[in-house]
Amino acid sequence: MLDALLAPFQYEFMQRAFVAAIVVGTLCSTIGTYVVLRKLAFIGDGIAHASFAGIVVAYLRGLDYYVGAAIVAVLTALGIGFVTRRAKVSLDTAIGVLFTGAFAFGVFLMSRLPTYNIDLQGFLFGNILAVSRGDIVLIVVLAALVFLVLAIIYRPLLYTSFDPVVAEASGIPVALIDYVLLVLLALTVVISLEAVGIVLVAALLVTPAATAYQLTRRFRRMLALSAGIGAVCAVSGLYASYYLHAASGATIVLLVTFVFFVAMISKRLFRFSV
């Protein structure tokens, strides 16, 4: 049993993958609590797709993928914040137009290259086993930064998420808090791209938090439960993918989806809550 648990760790790339899984699982599901309560799931998904354009442009310029993805993701997040406050079109329409457009731009640029060695499938579906030593440092540092800012703005962010109008009247800088949250969401998406990929990152943002939401009616507990579910599922999913010889990102997402339905059904059956 112990051998089976430790077996994957004989490979250095698996050690790195486990670190990445824990960090990405915890971070996505923590910020996911706000994503679920503020109904930003579509935004997270859109930021992920738009960042693909940044990856391709970074490749063309010989820059690090992360830099390109981060710049585009943060700019798109800020653009969304601006559109939400000013524009007359509905938000989901604006996101639908802009993000698919940006994603198409990335595919367009890439398809015109005579030869390309961007791992397209890796970015779409994630390849946590390919996380390098440098990636790990970047992931850990950026995740620590996101957690730190989340802790600093914890109370104004909670108030703003629940009741923005009254929060603003009381003197909380609601617009600033909204923008900061969007930037943190963009950074989270970028950190997660290599581990779970563009297509699946939305699941890690939404499903653990939605599962926690089923189980508790207190905010702090939802936050803690969501983070716990995200971390445990990411690690167990990675184990499962190792033994099943399956794609890690997809296995992790399947696991959180399974846990979500278990929580939903057991809540109905046992009226169970934390």
For position 213 contacting another protein by CB under 8 A, the verdict is yes
Shortest Å distance, C-beta 202 to another protein: 21
For position 87 contacting another protein by CB under 8 A, the verdict is no
For position 169 contacting another protein by CB under 8 A, the verdict is yes
Shortest Å distance, C-beta 86 to another protein: 14
Given the complex with another protein, which of 192 and 211 has the nearer CB atom?
A: 211
For position 243 contacting another protein by CB under 8 A, the verdict is no
In angstroms, rounded to a whole number, what is the distance separating the alpha carbons of residues 60 and 71?
15
Shortest Å distance, C-beta 81 to another protein: 18
For position 269 contacting another protein by CB under 8 A, the verdict is no
For position 219 contacting another protein by CB under 8 A, the verdict is yes
- Applying CB under 8 A, the span of 22-30, 47-55, 159-167, 254-262 interacting with another protein comes to 159-167
Shortest Å distance, C-beta 82 to another protein: 18
Nearest 5°: CA angle at 64, between 60 and 69? Answer: 85
- Number of residues assigned to the chain: 274
In angstroms, rounded to a whole number, what is the distance separating the alpha carbons of residues 240 and 256?
13
- Of 2, 5, 6, 151, which one interacts with another protein (CB under 8 A)? 151
Q: Is there a contact between 144 and 23 (Cβ–Cβ < 8 Å)?
A: no
For position 152 contacting another protein by CB under 8 A, the verdict is yes
In angstroms, rounded to a whole number, what is the distance separating the alpha carbons of residues 38 and 195?
25
Torsion sign (Cα): 219, 28, 73, 47: negative
In angstroms, rounded to a whole number, what is the distance separating the alpha carbons of residues 186 and 69?
9
Buried-exposed string 18-50: b where 16+ CB fall within 10 A, e elsewhere = bebbbbbbbbbbbbbbbbbbbebbbbbbbbbbb
For position 88 contacting another protein by CB under 8 A, the verdict is no
Can you spell out the DSSP letters for 46-66?
HHHHHHHHHHHHHHHHT--HH
For position 22 contacting another protein by CB under 8 A, the verdict is no
For position 155 contacting another protein by CB under 8 A, the verdict is yes
| Residues binding another protein: number (CB under 8 A) | 27
In Å, what is the CA distance from 133 to each residue of 16, 19, 20, 238, 250?
7, 11, 10, 18, 23
Residues 27 to 66: which contact another protein by CB under 8 A? 37
- Of 84, 216, 236, 257, which one interacts with another protein (CB under 8 A)? 216
For position 163 contacting another protein by CB under 8 A, the verdict is yes
Given the complex with another protein, which of 131 and 223 has the nearer CB atom?
A: 223
What residues make contact with another protein under the rule CB under 8 A? 37, 151-156, 158-159, 161-163, 165-172, 213, 216-219, 221-222
